[in-house]
Amino acid sequence: MALYDQWVAQRHRRIELTRSRQQQVGGELRSLQAVRQDTAAQVRAQLDEFTDRLRQQRQHLARQSAAAAVARQQLTSERQQAMAAFLQDTRSERYRQGEQQAQQLAEFAQTLAQQTAQFLTATQRDRSLMAEHLAADLADFHAQLKTTVAANRQQWQQQQAATKVELQRDLAAFVTELHADVREYLQELELLAEARGRQLRQDLQATRSDRQATMQELQAQLEALKLHLREYAQNLRQEVWGSALSPAQPTVATAPAPAKTVAPPPTLKAPPPAPPPKTVAPPPPPPSPVPPSPPLVGEGTGVRVPHEEQVYAYIKDTQGARLREIEDSLQLNRVQTVDALRSLMKKELIAQRDRLYIPVDKILN
């Protein structure tokens, strides 16, 4: 049966189903209307009963409020009379206490004036004696201060001269050490720049190779997808319209690959009816690159550097060392140590992290 005949049959079934549903919904609506009318009558009766009870309760509350107002008015009158009597008694008591405090204050002022006069006389006499003693002590302190200042000035000048000599010596040592640290840091920066440049070149080469492989794989998937889409369109047209109404069969041709030059393919006929093709699964992701194991010291085509094995063995034993530590431990000069470190970094046996040289095995683990 063609797709159009199926659609016509389904349309008749949907019309019959709609009519039956309309009749069923109409019956349910009529029953719901009757139930709603009964419920409304019950609710109206309950509302009338509630209104009567509410009116009776309001009348009862009004009678209670009138009785409470009369009681409050009587209580207010009694409290006003009691408060007036209390205020009269309090006013009399405060007047009597005020007279007593005024008399006591006058007596206290007279006594305080006498005591103040006596205190001022004694204070003036004591201040005169204190001024004489203070003048004598000040003269003695001034003479002693002159002697102490002279001795301290001479001692400070001697200490300043000694400190100046010591600071000059420390400054010369610091400048020498600073020059050595700067040279060491510049050499370490040079080694780090070489290692980073080599790593960037390797990463760029690997990225270029991966991109070319990915482009070739995507091109192959695109050609396969085009072929599957043509087959799916032909099969769908055959299934919908049937073999009697199928249009002219188009010819299917595959486009040549962009990276190769090949002869044009021959014209292909449409394939026979077949089920729709399955979706092409995406290719599996490429395996993650495995880091290469570090070669042994002395392997490779590079030139062998003196003291290279000693430096590598020391770094591997300590699991990380600085340039100054390597020089002090192996008794090597700066040139020998830098040459050995540069050779080990080119062979990817060690790496530099914050002025610290560590073996590659530790990073990989």
CATH of the domain at 315: 1.10.10
- Write down the pLDDT at residue 222: 93
**Residue in this structure with the two tokens 């002022």, named with its chain if needed:** 109
Whether residues 29 and 178 fall in one domain: no
Residue 296 lies in a domain: no
- Write down the pLDDT at residue 74: 87
Q: In this structure, how many other beta carbons lie within 10 angstroms of the beta carbon of residue 15?
A: 8
Residue 205 lies in a domain: yes
Residue 124 lies in a domain: no
Comparing CA positions, the residue from 302, 304, 307, 297 lying closest to residue 334 is 307
User: Domain containing 3: what range?
Assistant: 1-37
pLDDT in tens, the chain (365 residues): 567 788 888 888 889 898 888 888 888 898 898 888 889 888 888 898 898 889 888 888 888 888 888 888 888 888 888 888 899 888 888 888 888 888 889 889 989 998 998 999 899 888 888 988 898 899 889 989 989 998 998 899 899 889 989 898 889 889 988 888 888 888 878 887 887 777 788 888 888 888 889 999 999 999 999 999 999 988 888 888 766 444 444 444 444 444 443 333 333 333 444 444 344 344 444 334 333 344 444 444 445 567 888 899 998 898 888 888 888 888 888 888 888 888 888 888 888 887 888 888 877 76
Residue 263 to residue 84: CA distance in whole angstroms: 128
Whether residues 172 and 26 fall in one domain: no
**Count of structural domains, the chain:** 2
Residue 220 lies in a domain: no
- Write down the pLDDT at residue 100: 87
Residue 152 lies in a domain: no
- Write down the pLDDT at residue 365: 63
- The contacts of residue 174 (CB under 8 Å, 6+ apart) are none
Residue 206 and residue 289 in contact, taking contact as beta carbons nearer than 8 Å: yes
User: How far is residue 79 CA from its own chain's centroid?
Assistant: 70
Residue 292 lies in a domain: no
Residue 185 lies in a domain: yes
Comparing CA positions, the residue from 189, 176, 180, 203 lying closest to residue 341 is 189
Residue 3 lies in a domain: yes
